Amino acid sequence: MVATAADGAAAVRVAVRHRPDVALVDITMPVLDGLAALDELRRQAPEVRTVVLTSFGTEPNVLRALQHGAAGFVLKHCAPDELIRAVRAAHDGDAYLSPEVTRLVLGMVTPAAGRRGAATERLAVLSPRESEIAGLIAEGRSNADIGRRVHMSEATIKTYVSRVLTKLDCGNRVEVAILVRDATG
């Protein structure tokens, strides 16, 4: 940890000065709210990845945070290891959503018949094991959770996740989850 800030404007100033790899931002902050802070960070320090840490995991907040460039969205009541996973994912250039938030996002996506067929076709390139991993990604599970579930090391799961992302031409786990949701309706 390199710094803390009491409000959104101070958070932007501190991030610009210290250039952290990842900044944790709340949606409700005084002076400059979290979404405005995300915009300023994207403008003034685009290399700083941001994770929203908030108590308000509502549909509008999640969508707005992601539209404003957040690499992650975590609820404050999460376990400490989940927050660590979110920070590490953001640091690695990936996206992370709390499982509750993942379910919320997936619930907002209703596939049309054409999208269902296209998603099913895209998923057909995966091996049975890769399909299983994609399904577990869609459930919002971490690499460690997936590894325990399928009795493989976390390093092996990381390799599978990379293959799934590459084969499906997805930029992050959220895109995989949406694709699986589209296919399964």
Task: Tell me the C-alpha distance between 50 and 159, whole Å.
Answer: 25
Q: State the residue range of the domain holding 180.
A: 112-184
Q: Indicate whether 111 pLDDT > 60.
A: no
Note the pLDDT tens digit of each residue in 14-54: 999 999 999 999 988 889 988 899 999 989 999 999 999 98
CATH number of the domain residue 144 falls in: 1.10.10.10
Count of domains in the chain? Answer: 2
Are 43 and 15 within one domain?
Answer: yes
**Any domain includes 45:** yes
Segment holding 17, helix H or strand E = helix 8-18
Q: How far is CA 98 from CA 25, 82, 83, 112, 151, in A?
A: 15, 8, 9, 26, 23
Closest CA to 185 of 96, 114, 93: 114
pLDDT at position 110: 56
Domain C-terminal end among 50, 82, 107: 107
**Any domain includes 2:** no
Whether the model clears a pTM of 0.75, i.e. scores above it, the answer is no
CATH number of the domain residue 75 falls in: 3.40.50.2300
Q: Are 65 and 44 in contact (CB under 8 A)?
A: no
The CB density around residue 151, as the number of other CB atoms within 10 Å, is 7
Are 42 and 97 within one domain?
Answer: yes
Domain C-terminal end among 107, 142, 169: 107
Note the pLDDT tens digit of each residue in 64-107: 888 888 999 999 888 899 999 999 999 998 889 988 888 777 76
CA angle 131–178–69, rounded 5-degree value: 130
Are 16 and 77 within one domain?
Answer: yes
pLDDT at position 184: 81
Are 12 and 91 within one domain?
Answer: yes
Are 99 and 127 within one domain?
Answer: no
**Any domain includes 3:** no
Domain C-terminal end among 107, 127, 156: 107
